[in-house]
Structure 1
């Protein structure tokens, strides 16, 4: 069976009822989902007399609307929403106030654009993916849907992991970028190899930068191993451990959860920084 014939659906859709009656803008076969979240409490403020200002409301509620596919072939899974995007979005909400101000954030393999939308609450964003299956137009559509959430501009452009170079638009701004994001980009060994190659290229440019990667280990039982293993994830670890002049750290997932999803034990968050 070809990849084009085999359909997959995100586990998210069975966890909660996100789907609405809103009409899709880009593709009539898509659906529009609402993903609720809470804003983290603001940092304590001090008035001019040095007194602590009492926060009347520690949290606020928000909703992100995302147009997406309900099922796709394996090569177009970016048209769906996956758990890793929410994990990375939670991390952004928890750390947003400490992110460098007015410094662009780059997202790789942005999919539906959900994580980039959250990032744009705190900084300008360069939101990228491969130009396939109308995915760049889908991102633009979702950014427009959520103008009430974003505070900074989001630029949508292509990065194709299979290419040996970045597009000139990204190269021009790369020196300014300190933080790079990626979620749910490991599900095929060939793509993983291309993704790690792209990471290596980005980390090779002058100046220090850090890549945060949210993934979900996907376990399968194999007769050869007589065990349940996560081959795509293991191959990803094998690839990143070959990177030179980088520091690799697994981030503890003890930060708060702001989005509504199952934060399963298979989710992981990695931090890879160049040593410059």
Structure 2
């Protein structure tokens, strides 16, 4: 088990929030990113077209809670990748238990649920975003073949224990898009990934992000201690070159022994 003390970032000269004592507990994710009241209006909706789905994905968006309530490029890249792979071989998602981290609008989890009705998906984020995700699940999955949405919404704050309503031992796949944006939360995200992928567990982790700041390198330095990263090479021909030019990367993470 990885502790927060193990992931405490080194002393920094920047003004970013951090702790410099190796035995100091890090603050919670909620305390680092305090929520704000939602600002979404009924007409604030965006549509995302994913090849492989019959209809567009309808998303209510909300800038009130911060960047989490908006659809970002990495989420679309990851959604299109799992749709392309599912079109080639549906067994990748069939009967799988899938957890999405930092779901925000719920886009990636909703796409997974729409692609494969037999899959069970948990879309997770801070409490302030849960109503937004529930609204988006209802918009897109009320007419699911199962007669019930197979995407479940749950609160999961990085660095904390996995919620009891998420069967962590049974999770087959972890999806994460645009989660690298808030430097003080880097150690919390690494700890969460370690909790979800203990050593020797067979689990697929797909991690997609857009390169924005030099500080993001600190996250991958922390991550490298626990995971190997492998660039996804089996996307639709030509797609990787397109999103790479936009600064987006898609990798598989494999826990180090």
TM-score range, shorter chain: 0.7 to 0.9
Specify the alignment match of 1:231 in structure 2.
214
Cα separation, partners in 2 of 1:178 and 1:233, compared to 1, 3 Å: same
> CA separation in 1, counterparts of 2:215 and 2:80?
24
- C-alpha separation in 2, matches of 1:109 and 1:30: 24
Structure 2 counterpart of 1:91: 81
CA distance in structure 1 between the partners assigned to 2:238 and 2:139 by the alignment: 23
CA positional deviation for 1:91:
1.2
SS at 1:38's partner residue? coil
| 1:198-221 CA-partner distances (Å, limit 9, x unpaired) | 101111277311211110001xxx
1:200 is the counterpart of 2:194: yes
Higher helix share: 2
Mapped pair 1:37 → 2:50: yes
Aligned to 1:20: none
Indicate the residue corresponding to 1:28 in structure 2: 41
Residue 242 of structure 1 aligns with which residue?
225
Q: Is the 8 A contact 2:176 2:206 kept in 1?
A: yes
1:123-149 CA deviation, whole Å, 9 max, x = no partner?
2101111112xx101001001000268
Q: Say yes or no: does 1:109 pair with 2:109.
A: no
Q: Secondary structure at the match of 2:130?
A: helix
Contact 1:188 1:232 in 2 (8 A): no
1:77-131 CA-partner distances (Å, limit 9, x unpaired): 1111100100110111012213142121111110101111111022210111111
Q: Which residue of structure 1 aligns with residue 124 of structure 2?
A: 128
Matches for 1:153-172 after TM superposition, within 5 Å: 153-163=150-160, 165-170=161-166
Gaps of 5+ in 2: 1-38
Q: Decide whether the 8 Å contact of 2:84 with 2:236 is kept in 1.
A: yes
The equivalent residue for 2:33 is none
Measured in 1, the distance between the counterparts of 2:143 and 2:248 equals 26
Question: Helix, strand or coil: the match of 1:231?
Answer: coil
**Partner SS for 2:47:** strand
- The structure-2 alpha-carbon separation of the partners of 1:195 and 1:94, relative to structure 1 and needing over 3 Å to count, comes to same
Q: Following superposition, which runs of at least 4 residues in structure 1 exceed 6 angstroms of deviation?
A: none
Deviation (angstroms), 1:255:
2.1
How many residues matched? 207
Residue of structure 2 equivalent to 1:145: 139
CA RMSD of aligned residues (A): 2.6
- Structure with the higher fraction of residues in strand conformation: 1
Structure 1: runs of 5 or more not aligned: 1-25, 40-59, 219-229
